Amino acid sequence: MDFRDTADEAAFRAKLRDWYEANFDAGGMPAAGRPDAGYLRKWSRRLFDGGYVGLTWPREYGGHGLSPSYQAIYFEEMVRAGAPEHMGIIGLNMAGPTIMTWGTHEQKSKHLARLLSGEDIWCQGFSEPGSGSDLAGARTKAVLDGDEWVVNGQKVWSSYAHLADWCILVVRTDPAAEKHAGLSYLLVDMHLPGVEVRPLKQITGDPEFNEIFFTDVRVPKDSILGKPGDGWKVAMTTLLHERGTMAFALVAQLRQHFSRLVDLAREPGSDGRVPADDPVVRDAIAQEWIELQSLAFTNYRTLTTLLTKGAPGPESSVVKLVWSEANQRLTKLARSLQGLSGMLDGDGGVWDGYWQYRQLRSRGNTIEAGTSEILRNIVAERVLGLPRSR
């Protein structure tokens, strides 16, 4: 693979870099890197107006029809600028590609443009209490009543559900069928009567994850993607893009954290000592750099698969697995470099508690988007070709 930009890619990178310099002010970001819905909505709209949303989406759906390599450049320059991601990551990376693949003309016309602009925020209704990462074990039911599906059940660990306008929802429509065969996939308006969102406050203090309760929610019949019983196949399209296209965003985020880790290591602590002067600290930082480079090159392999086959391969599961544990180690290292000050948060902490917040948030990395245990099974069976253990 040639890692150098083509002439067109170099021009795109230069234009994007200039745009960030003119439009992004790091001083306006929320303190300690905490998510702020109002700020992120405005920033997401600015990205859209600037022409940097939906880079790889087909032009017929409002995108720019560019190669995935341009999306990789976008993430690299985002990190360089220190800017946040688009707020609608679930819509852009999961709901949107799934609707493009499985949706009717009416569904595409209704949802895709508003998804790109950030007017509609999406959440994911897959996980349930008692089934965890076992999507085929979903028990939320949808029963057809005339021209409507009547939905009852509960979902959990749904990011952005407290802010979302729409939900990609896996439901059981045929309880008599085999587990995988009895599922269907609905697009559900989160403002419908009977939809209740209960935010789950995390260890960070933020309610990023949520429970969703559905009580006799009446969803139009034409909100289904595919046919009844296609839910498993449609959901696999979603998960393929979640662990594939989002891998670039994950590595970009880790690169951003690593850059800030280096900045922290060069700052004198409260005792006047500079952490980077310690060879043990330098070794630890070097190890994190090695992990980062291995992830970056694995992403290039995934990019090659995208360019040649049009879809990411199972190798993207490696990225998510290694990234989640590397991010936890990196944030722990950053806090340890602060010495006793690492115990402080908020106004009394280094960088207003930035690293304390990032370490606490990282605890969810090995659970969300597939637990590390599930991902190790995927890598073993689908990447390495090892026999199934069950």
Which burial class, exposed, middle or buried, applies to 25 when counting CB atoms under 10 A from its CB (0-12, 13-18, 19+)? exposed
What does residue 365 show for φ and ψ, rounded to 5 degrees? Answer: -60, -35
* Residue 68: CA count within 13 A, CB half-sphere: 22
CA distances from 192 to 122, 151, 195, 216 (A): 14, 11, 6, 10
Contact call for residues 117 and 187 (beta carbons, < 8 A):
no
**What is the C-alpha separation between 390 and 387, in angstroms, rounded?**
9
**What is the C-alpha separation between 346 and 353, in angstroms, rounded?**
5
**What is the C-alpha separation between 142 and 140, in angstroms, rounded?**
7
Beta-carbon contacts of 370 under 8 Å, excluding residues fewer than 6 positions away, are 133, 239, 243, 317, 320, 378
Q: Is 242 among the catalytic positions?
A: yes
* Orientation angle between helical segments 105-117 and 37-50, nearest 10 degrees: 110
Contact call for residues 167 and 124 (beta carbons, < 8 A):
yes
Task: State which amino acid sits at residue 253.
Answer: Q
CA dihedral 8, 12, 15, 21 (to 10 degrees): -150
Q: Which of 76, 242, 291, 315 is catalytic?
A: 242
Active site residues: 242
